[in-house]
Amino acid sequence: MLDIPWDQPATLIDLDGKPPSISTVRDCVRHFAILTPEAQQKARMLLTRPTFRADRKSRTWLLNPEEIALLLAQMRAEKSTLN
């Protein structure tokens, strides 16, 4: 689980050259959810505040597709507990 506030500003970048989605982490994750699997594999999220990764000693500003997918699973889990 990544500890990133949902309301933190972020940018979702698509390496296919489409315009970036500049919004909050929550909105970027929602946008990621509607991308095709191929586009998801090319997406990255740029954070405004770095976060820790389990596999690194230092913090990072960039999330890879697997990490964005973890946030999506976390968002869906939180939503299901609210219903």
Q: What is the pLDDT of residue 83?
A: 62
Pairwise pLDDT comparison (54 vs 42), residue with the higher score = 42
- d(CA 52, CA 30) in angstroms, rounded, equals 22
72 alpha-carbon distance from chain centroid: 7
CA distance 57 to 80: 33
Its pTM stands at 0.88
**Is pLDDT at 32 greater than 70 in this prediction?**
yes
Q: How confident is the model at residue 80 (pLDDT cuts 50, 70, 90)?
A: confident
Task: Give residues with Cβ within 8 angstroms of 66, minimum separation 6.
Answer: none
Asked if residues 5 and 28 have their Cβ atoms less than 8 Å apart, the reply is no
